């Protein structure tokens, strides 16, 4: 018993020291990180904490419940909360890969992939959509709709699976909670979708293949539904969207987590493409 207690105590101390060291390391390079955190999510969360709408921040364009996940970090100062959000996001990326039973090689390739690295640098909410992929459909829908450009493929997959399980009654049970919540959001905030959407299509941040990726996305959704392949549903959305930030391509990589060779090849290709673009070759 004493040995077990001692081992537990040592593990806790080592874990706390590691987290403290990670906090200091991230804090030391904070000036390079958190662009979306500073410009969008922290101000929107602070607005909510002050009793205002998150949509007073023009660049906040997600479903309103997305801000709920930011609120615990927004209680703190901008940099402190941002560093902790970075650490939580990193842990969440790892947790998603673990839940999807990624083998060590795929796990490492995913965490060191350009979309994940870039997503951690920007500190957006992409990892929340990935979390939704591994949750039961009625809950996961709340997550994937935070960014439909990353998650709409899974919504189609869950729709088909719900129909298979129990027809219209099952579909209603699965989709009613998120549908009601969307309706209430429009009652509370008005048409929060209006305005500021068209500019995304011509943004320099748009890394979408639209419309050339559309056939790939449609085929992936069709295969996901026909063959009951959840991984295809995860990977489909980025090919269907006319707008996609570069870090949102992490959704495609999640669909490859069961395929070591393919994900490693994809990650190498992404790094090479980034190098070619960065050096203007």
The answer to whether position 130 is within a domain reads yes
The answer to whether position 210 is within a domain reads yes
DSSP assignment string, the chain: -HHHHHHHHHHHHHHHHHHHHHHHHHHHTGGGS-HHIIIIIHHHHHHHHTTS-GGGSTT--S-GGGGGGTHHHHTS-HHHHHHHHHHHHHHHHHHHHHHTT--HHHHHHHHTSHHHHHHHHHT-SHHHHHHHHTS-HHHHHHHHTTSHHHHHHHHHHHHHHHHHHHHHHHHHHHHHHHHHHHHHHHHHHS-TTSSSSHHHHT-TT----TTTTHHHHHHHHHHHHHHT-HHHHHHHHHHH-S---GGGGHHHHHTTTT-HHHHHHHHHHHHHHHHHHHTT-
Among 45-49, 74-78, 115-119, 204-208, the least confident range? 204-208
- What region does 195 belong to: left with phi over 0, alpha with psi -120 to 50, or beta? left
Residue 2 has pLDDT above 70, yes or no: no
Residue 239 has pLDDT above 80, yes or no: yes
- What integer is the mean pLDDT of 87-112? 97
| pTM for this predicted structure | 0.92
- What integer is the mean pLDDT of 75-104? 97
What pLDDT is recorded for position 259? 93
What is the number of residues in the chain? 281
- What integer is the mean pLDDT of 227-234? 96
Is-contact 110 262, C-beta < 8 A? Answer: no
Task: Please list, in sequence order, all residues whose beta carbon lies within 8 angstroms of the beta carbon of residue 54, skipping any fewer than 6 positions away.
Answer: 44, 45, 47, 48, 60, 64, 67
Which is more confident, 29 or 200?
29
Task: Provide the sign of the torsion angle of the four alpha carbons 162, 233, 260, 86, taken in this order.
Answer: negative
The proportion of the chain whose per-residue pLDDT surpasses 70, expressed as a percent, equals 95
What span, in angstroms and rounded, lies between the C-alpha atoms of 23 and 169? 48
How do residues 146-195 score in pLDDT, each as one tens digit?
Answer: 999 999 999 999 999 999 999 999 999 999 999 999 999 999 999 988 76
Residue 82 has pLDDT above 60, yes or no: yes
Among 16-20, 31-35, 111-115, 194-198, the least confident range? 194-198
What pLDDT is recorded for position 196? 56
What pLDDT is recorded for position 281? 53
Pick from 209, 194, 199, 197: nearest CA to 244: 209
What pLDDT is recorded for position 277? 73
Tokens of 279: 């050096």
The answer to whether position 135 is within a domain reads yes
Q: How confident is the model at residue 1 (pLDDT cuts 50, 70, 90)?
A: low
The answer to whether position 160 is within a domain reads yes
- What region does 280 belong to: left with phi over 0, alpha with psi -120 to 50, or beta? left
What span, in angstroms and rounded, lies between the C-alpha atoms of 40 and 54? 9
The answer to whether position 212 is within a domain reads yes
Q: How confident is the model at residue 199 (pLDDT cuts 50, 70, 90)?
A: low
Number of domains present in the structure of the chain = 1
The answer to whether position 136 is within a domain reads yes
What pLDDT is recorded for position 198? 60
Tokens of 157: 């997959």
């Amino acid at each position: 018993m004493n040995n077990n207690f001692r081992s537990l105590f040592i593990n806790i101390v080592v874990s706390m020291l590691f987290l403290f060291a990670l906090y200091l390391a991230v804090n030391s390079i904070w000036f390079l990180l958190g662009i979306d955190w500073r410009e969008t999510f922290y101000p929107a969360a602070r607005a909510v904490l002050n009793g205002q709408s998150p949509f007073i921040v023009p660049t906040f364009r997600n479903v309103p419940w997305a801000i709920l996940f930011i609120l615990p970090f927004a209680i703190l100062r901008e940099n402190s909360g941002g560093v902790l959000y970075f650490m939580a996001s990193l842990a969440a990326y790892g947790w998603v890969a673990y839940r999807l039973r990624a083998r060590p090689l795929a796990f490492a390739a995913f965490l060191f992939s350009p979309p994940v690295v870039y997503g951690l640098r920007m500190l957006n909410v992409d990892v929340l959509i990935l979390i939704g992929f591994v949750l039961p459909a009625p809950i996961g829908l709340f997550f994937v709709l935070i960014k439909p450009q990353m998650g709409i493929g899974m919504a189609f997959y869950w729709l088909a699976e719900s129909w298979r399980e129990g027809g219209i009654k099952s579909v209603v049970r699965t989709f009613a909670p998120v549908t009601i919540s969307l309706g209430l959001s429009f009652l509370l905030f008005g048409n929060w979708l209006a305005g500021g959407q068209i500019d995304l299509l011509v943004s320099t941040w748009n890394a979408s293949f639209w419309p050339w990726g559309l056939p790939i996305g449609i085929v992936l959704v069709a295969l996901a539904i026909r063959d009951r392949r959840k991984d295809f549903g995860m990977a489909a959305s980025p090919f269907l969207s006319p707008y996609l930030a570069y870090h949102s391509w992490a959704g495609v990589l999640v669909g490859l987590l069961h395929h070591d060779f393919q994900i490693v090849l994809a990650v190498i290709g992404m790094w090479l493409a980034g190098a070619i673009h960065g050096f203007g070759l």
